């Protein structure tokens, strides 16, 4: 038994040494290339910015997207920086959400200069179309590289596909299940009980052109608003809730002032295209997020209805992309809380 025990101990020691050496070699020669390969370059950006920024602004594409008509091409965070004596920088990337923010915030060093973080709180990201987006597999892959573990372990996880790598077809199925089965949070007299029923009704010639033909672009946009926003946030099961809750915990542990920026949604178009029921659902979700994270000790900057419908860049889709007028409004609104 003693010989077996000694052999086991020796094997464990050799294994530990092998992993240690492999981690050194991988980190020195291959890790940065893999950060590029798996689109996880924000980690390098964070490593630099956290030591020369007073404020870090974590965001998706809402921060830097500009309109063709813009004469000012500054991002929201850059606008904030120009208006403040503080040094404000952004860690941003298109389509990212709370899971990525969480993994990055965990990487902020206790000796870093940054003492305030602003994190975009995107109401649309709590809905099934984003949670089950076809982009999620690539985002999940990138998130492995942002996790707090030795780099060699990250590479091993990716090698064995140890991340959320559902197929696009299965994600589409999950969306359809959600639209067909989740009950709408609307008054009882409303004739539709699910998103799918409401979407089908809206798609059945609701808007007509002067010649009597269906106004397909307008119908398509209205249906997209329904599928995108007609959900009620489930605080027990929604993965975004779990991640944002943990962001609050991590920020407290790191003694960081946490500001959630509740982004503007095109509430005017939602109301005019679809009606008061969708407006009601969106307002309920907005208030839920404000109340929940205010109670938990975060500062919530409410920009939900701040931007006029015409100042959204995408007039035929639902995004949080704003022209320079919208971006200046948002920048000033957040800056009030930072001051």
Is the confidence at residue 91, as pLDDT, over 70? yes
What pLDDT score does 16 carry? 75
Average pLDDT over residues 151-178: 96
What pLDDT score does 10 carry? 63
Average pLDDT over residues 189-205: 97
pLDDT-based confidence at residue 237 (cuts at 50, 70, 90): very high
The counts of H helices and E strands in the chain are 15, 5
pLDDT-based confidence at residue 158 (cuts at 50, 70, 90): very high
What pLDDT score does 1 carry? 64
Alpha-carbon gap, residue 195 to 184, rounded angstroms: 7
Is the confidence at residue 144, as pLDDT, over 80? yes
Burial 270-289 (b: 16+ CB within 10 A, else e): bbebbbebbbbbbeebbebb
Look up the pTM and report it.
Answer: 0.94
Indicate the CATH number of 40-338 among 3.90.1640.10, 3.40.50.1110, 2.60.120.580, 3.30.1360.30.
3.40.50.1110
What pLDDT score does 187 carry? 83
Is the confidence at residue 219, as pLDDT, over 80? yes
CA 303 to the chain's CA centroid: 16
Give domain limits for the chain: 40-338
What pLDDT score does 14 carry? 72
Is the confidence at residue 9, as pLDDT, over 70? no
DSSP state of 332: H
- Whether the CB-CB separation of 235 and 285 falls below 8 Å is answered with no
- Whether the CB-CB separation of 245 and 296 falls below 8 Å is answered with yes
142: buried, middle or exposed (CB in 10 Å: 19+, 13-18, 0-12)?
A: buried
Average pLDDT over residues 62-67: 98
Mean pLDDT, the chain, integer: 95
Distance (Å) of CA 255 to CA 50, 115, 247, 314: 14, 8, 12, 38
User: What are 199-213's pLDDT values in tens digits?
Assistant: 999 999 999 999 999
Percentage with pLDDT > 90 across the chain: 92
Average pLDDT over residues 302-325: 98
Percent helix, strand, coil in the chain, to 5, is 55, 10, 35
Alpha-carbon gap, residue 105 to 265, rounded angstroms: 25
Could you tell me which of 213, 235, 234, 247 has the C-alpha nearest to residue 97?
247
Average pLDDT over residues 253-259: 98
What pLDDT score does 95 carry? 95
Average pLDDT over residues 26-34: 93
Q: Which position has the higher pLDDT, 333 or 1? A: 333
What pLDDT score does 18 carry? 75
């Amino acid at each position: 038994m003693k010989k077996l025990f000694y052999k086991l101990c020796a094997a464990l020691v050799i294994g530990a040494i092998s992993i240690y050496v492999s981690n050194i070699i991988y980190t020195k020669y291959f890790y940065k290339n893999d950060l590029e390969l798996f689109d996880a370059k924000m980690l390098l950006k964070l490593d630099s910015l956290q030591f020369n920024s007073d404020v870090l602004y974590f965001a998706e594409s809402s921060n830097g997207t500009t309109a063709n008509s813009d004469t000012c091409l500054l991002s929201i965070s850059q606008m904030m920086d120009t208006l403040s004596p503080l040094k404000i920088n952004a860690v941003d990337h298109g389509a990212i959400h709370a899971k990525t923010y969480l993994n990055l915030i965990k990487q902020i060093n206790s000796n870093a200069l940054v003492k305030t973080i602003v994190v975009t709180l995107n109401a649309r990201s709590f809905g099934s179309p984003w949670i089950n987006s076809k982009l999620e597999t690539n985002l999940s892959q990138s998130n492995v590289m942002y996790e707090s573990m030795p780099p060699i372990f990250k590479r091993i996880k990716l090698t064995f596909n140890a991340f959320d790598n559902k197929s696009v077809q299965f994600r589409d199925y999950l969306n359809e299940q959600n639209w067909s089965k989740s009950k709408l949070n609307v008054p009882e007299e409303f004739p539709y009980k699910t998103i799918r029923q409401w979407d089908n009704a809206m798609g059945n010639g609701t808007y007509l052109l002067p010649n009597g033909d269906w106004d397909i672009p307008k119908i398509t946009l209205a249906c997209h608003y329904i599928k995108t926003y007609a959900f009620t946030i489930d605080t027990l099961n929604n993965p975004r809730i779990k991640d944002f809750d943990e962001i609050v915990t991590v920020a407290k542990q790191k003694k960081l002032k946490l500001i959630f920026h509740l982004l503007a949604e095109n509430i005017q178009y939602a109301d005019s295209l679809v009606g008061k029921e969708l407006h009601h659902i969106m307002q309920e979700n907005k208030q839920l997020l404000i109340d929940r994270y205010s109670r938990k000790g975060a500062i919530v900057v409410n920009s939900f209805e701040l931007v006029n419908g015409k100042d959204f860049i995408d007039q035929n889709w639902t995004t949080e992309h704003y022209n320079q007028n919208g971006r200046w409004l948002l920048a000033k609104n957040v800056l009030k809380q930072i001051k």
